[in-house]
Structure 1
Amino acid sequence: MSLTVVIPAARFSAAQGVDPTLDLDLPGLRALLGRADLAETAGSSPEALLRGWFGAEAVGAAQLGLRLDWPDAPPGFWLRADPVHLRADRDAVLLLGHGGLGIDPSEAEALTGALNRLFGADGLHFYAPHPDRWYLRLDQDPGLTTTAPVEVLGSDIHPHLPRGEAALRWHALINEMQMLLYTHSVNDARELAGKPAVNSLWLWGEGPAPADLRRPFARVCGDDATLAALAVAADVPQRPLPPTLDGEVSGSDTLLWLDALSGPGRLGDLMAWREALQALDHVWLQTLLAAWKSGAIPHLRLVFPDSGGNLTAELKPATRWKFWRGAAPVRRLALA
């Protein structure tokens, strides 16, 4: 019986000697790092780690997302066309919002309806089966290379716009989309309500549909959309994250995805990141430590993915007898 726990955005830079965990009370994390066998491997994003486990490295994000959001989608070439919030900043335009914009289904329907009225004659068809995840259907491959929004969040969009032979045409189309969205009554109402405007679409996720994926776990548990989509595509049972550890989560060969640090980490919100780490330790890590010590979870593996290096902490049954291993400083998570 084993449990794999992935905690994205837990690693931090050690540059200039700054420790963002300073003065935090993290007994669960410190004990787990101290008792475990630690291994460093080549870095990866959390999504790349997931895709590697499922054998889905080449699968398009749009086709993968449709398995979760719209399994009966009509055939065609699909891109994600996610609603985003941009903000001009001197000579740059920053991507400051992707997901979590509080878009309700009626707003998504109104905005995609307006987009379809403007672009439908050009063969562009927009759909919003999920308020945060929109899709663009085309009759043929536009020959574009795109960038996932998670890699751009907080940065200037211009170096990351779609690339390819038809890139200039698509840049012009994106500008038209932005003008339509900027003047739409939905955004007028959102701004009056103090909500961020949905003032652009982020086109990305080209690639083939998933086929013959691996089943690396008996079940998965977490709220990440990519995790849920991969589980659906690979026919792996999946469930949302519960309030804390229960018997089903700690069952045999389960993947548990604890993603509370990713949001504040992407936005560089240090205070929110510290608060989320403190809560993660109290709600999950101390409970996981106790379950491993009692033998309820004989084999516990913690994975901390980061593009600068993945850290794995392995706690096996025999490790419980290595009582001389004490708590370790949290700076073991620091990237060199």
Structure 2
Amino acid sequence: MCAGWRLTPFLAHSAGMPSRLTIHLSQLDAAPLAAELGLDPSLPDVPTREPFTAYLPAFALFGWSRDLAPPLAAATYAHDFGTPPPAWCSRLDPVCLQPAGASLRLLSLDATPLTPTQARALFERVSCADIIQGVSWHMATPLRWYVLSNEAPMLETSPPDSLPGGRVADGQPSGPDAPRWQAWLNELQMLLFDAPPNLAREALDQAPANALWLWGSGVTPTLGPSPFSRVWTEQPLIGGLSRLAGVTPEPVPASGTQLLDALATEHGLLDLAVNTTADDLHERWLRPLRRALDGKQLASLHLHVTGPAGNAVFDVQRRGLLSRVLYGAWRTR
């Protein structure tokens, strides 16, 4: 055996004073949401840097403003293991590479994830092979693997979800140390090709984990003290950033109503994953939070949206009585 981080609301409350709340949503188109809430559809774009567009808003919430690819692996490692990585860290996640004409297409395994037993067997196979020199291997979940090294290689990588059409050629590592790492990745791919768990998955018509994707590398970022006294999240990126900023994250409440009951703090952050229908999002979260804003239980409500059309930030304004009546009538039509 070998041994071996849109979508975010935050809030602020102090005794006798209403809270401030910012909601960051990912995988969402901002324009329909603005129309749903009766907001100005001309939303300002948040400056981003490809290919980590989807991840920069989360880092920005904790003060990251560098014009660099963010060290995402260090953040998610802190979430997964409860402590920041002691050295250079990179994600090395299992994926499936499929032939697509003369090229390869990356297929995520989220739809048919590895079982813990399959993941452990594959992890042991590659981590014990001693192919990548000078690294330690760590598996957090079946689909989140890491390598750590005391020497930081000169590499630029791409997230697996940033490849246009999943084209592998558009996301290969680059930089002075890329050829050496690409050779190692090729060797690991050969090890995975005929691994028993993959053969068993193929027999069940499931995608094999026949490659590892290197991405998010870097050293632990230096963040200032957290601007939030409490953080609610179930996402590894926000959870890791929170830990790096000195705050232990908590589970997400079930709804906006329960969130309002928990706002007895000076400042809080809620990381809200968009994994439900638009109506459910509105009814469970946006409607009670907007009522709280109208009733002055919230001092301000801001939305940070990350989606395929880009990133946007806008304010939700407190409505007068007539606006609330008209909006309620429109919602019930």
For Structure 1 versus Structure 2, the TM-score category normalised by the shorter chain is: 0.7 to 0.9
Which residue of the partner structure matches residue 230 of structure 2? 219
Which residue of the partner structure matches residue 305 of structure 1? 306
Deviations 1:211-251 (A, max 9, x none): 34342323222322110100111112422323312145555
Which residue of the partner structure matches residue 6 of structure 2? none
Which residue of the partner structure matches residue 203 of structure 1? 214
Structure 2 residue matching 1:62: 3-state secondary structure:
helix
One-letter code aligned to 1:42: V
One-letter code aligned to 2:237: T
1:75–1:231 Cα change, 3 Å: closer
Please tell me whether the aligned partners of residues 27 and 307 of structure 2 are also in contact (alpha carbons under 8 angstroms): yes
Please tell me whether the aligned partners of residues 94 and 153 of structure 1 are also in contact (alpha carbons under 8 angstroms): no
Q: Pairwise CA RMSD of aligned residues? A: 3.2
Which residue of the partner structure matches residue 321 of structure 1? 320
**Structure 2 counterparts to residues 50-199 of structure 1, below 5 A:** 50-56=58-64, 57=66, 60-71=71-82, 75-97=86-108, 99=110, 101-119=112-130, 122-152=133-163, 154-199=165-210
Please tell me whether the aligned partners of residues 131 and 187 of structure 2 are also in contact (alpha carbons under 8 angstroms): no
**Which of the residues 24, 28, 32 maps onto 2:37?**
32
Please tell me whether the aligned partners of residues 87 and 219 of structure 2 are also in contact (alpha carbons under 8 angstroms): no
Which residue of the partner structure matches residue 25 of structure 2? 7
Higher relative contact order (CA 8 A, sep 6+): 1
Deviations 1:62-103 (A, max 9, x none): 222222222468744322111112222112212220656422
1:91–1:120 Cα change, 3 Å: closer
Q: Distance in 2 between matches of 1:298 and 1:37?
A: 22
Structure 2 gaps of 5+ residues are 1-18, 329-333
1:72–1:278 Cα change, 3 Å: closer
Which residue of the partner structure matches residue 281 of structure 1? 282
Please tell me whether the aligned partners of residues 8 and 259 of structure 1 are also in contact (alpha carbons under 8 angstroms): yes
Q: What TM-score, normalized to structure 1?
A: 0.76
Structure 2 residue matching 1:209: 3-state secondary structure:
coil
One-letter code aligned to 1:65: T
One-letter code aligned to 1:259: A
Please tell me whether the aligned partners of residues 131 and 184 of structure 2 are also in contact (alpha carbons under 8 angstroms): no
Q: What TM-score, normalized to structure 2?
A: 0.77
Q: Distance in 2 between matches of 1:75 and 1:217?
A: 25
Please tell me whether the aligned partners of residues 85 and 220 of structure 2 are also in contact (alpha carbons under 8 angstroms): no
CA offset at residue 156 of structure 1? 0.5
Which residue of the partner structure matches residue 331 of structure 2? none
More helix by share: 1
Aligned-pair identity (%) = 26
Please tell me whether the aligned partners of residues 82 and 98 of structure 1 are also in contact (alpha carbons under 8 angstroms): no
Q: Distance in 1 between matches of 2:302 and 2:145?
A: 35
Deviates more, 1:319-328 or 1:57-66: 319-328
